[in-house]
Amino acid sequence: MRIQQVQPNTNFQARQNFLNEAQKENVKSLVENMSKSLEIKTKGIFFDFSATNRLKIADKAEFVGISLSKNKDRCFDKVQLNTKYSQLVINTETGEIEHYHKPFLKRWSKVMENVDKYLSMFKENFNNSNVVEKESFKISGMTPEAFEVFQNEVDKLFKESKKK
């Protein structure tokens, strides 16, 4: 038996996977609804920022925003959909599946059926707290102007302590 050697200049390219149009619409709708919960409050020189970043259906599926967007229309550039046995990282703008993990023997068509089922379930029950559990994150901090004022005060104290 003869074994063929792989040529060093051979390029291997993985097949790109995309969501279908209905799934893309469901992802965009979910991200828009999550973006609506975005709150930014300023209190003088401080700010509070909170947003929904995780949706969960019992132990079955989880929809997580993993990359914050600079675009004001949507909160996340990438989301991760975790089902019982598979994980998919999805680009919210193009619908491209950038990374996935699935059991070796599970067919891709079965994974996509589950994706379709869970995305539509998340979309239909977004406001139903009995089905979809929402988690949010909060960030508090100082505005850039406040940081400058704070830095100036620290510099003044530092100079005064050097004089003594």
Structure tokens at 113: 């059926």
Model pTM greater than 0.75? no
Q: To the nearest whole percent, how much of the chain has pLDDT over 70? A: 88
Domain ranges of the chain: 17-163
Closest CA to 94 of 15, 13, 20, 14: 20
Report how far residue 152's alpha carbon sits from residue 7's, in angstroms, rounded to the nearest whole number: 63
* Model confidence pLDDT, tens digit, residues 121-142: 999 999 999 999 999 888 888 8
Q: pLDDT higher for 68 or 157?
A: 157
Chain segment 40-96, per-residue pLDDT in tens: 888 888 888 888 889 999 889 999 988 877 776 677 889 999 998 899 999 998 899
Would you call 120 helix, strand, or coil by DSSP?
Answer: helix
Find all residues with CB under 8 Å of 2, minimum gap 6, and list them.
Answer: none
Nearest C-alpha neighbor of 66 from the set 80, 55, 85: 80
